[in-house]
Amino acid sequence: SKPTVIVGINENYELNLKLWVQIDTESGNFRRLIDIVSLQGMGSTIQPWGFSILDNAGNYVGAWYSAIRAAVVDINENRQIVNLQPFRRVAIGDQQK
């Protein structure tokens, strides 16, 4: 697989989506994952960045690392993340990149 996003979720929230897999942050697989996501921007003007994921009340939910700059995040009343969908296109001004 070619993952494009790494997320870290606050322990007060639950990410229960089939396409997202938990990984041990102390493992060699995690280092490899960081390398894969970091290299996705090579040769382009867009490099991976880290962002905070916030809920509707502004509470910290987790961290996002990717060259993809935007995502849909839906969190239910039980603090379960029920949707975490990266946008493939991000508009800058009136042009899509």
Model pLDDT for residues 48-88, shown as the tens digit of each residue: 888 999 988 999 999 999 888 788 889 999 999 998 887 76
Classify residue 53 as exposed, middle or buried by CB count within 10 Å of its CB (0-12, 13-18, 19+).
buried
Provide the whole-model pTM: 0.74
pLDDT digits (tens, 9 = 90+) for 11-54: 999 987 877 888 898 999 999 988 888 877 666 667 788 899 99
User: What are the sequence ranges of the domains in the chain?
Assistant: 5-96
Token pair for 76: 């239910």
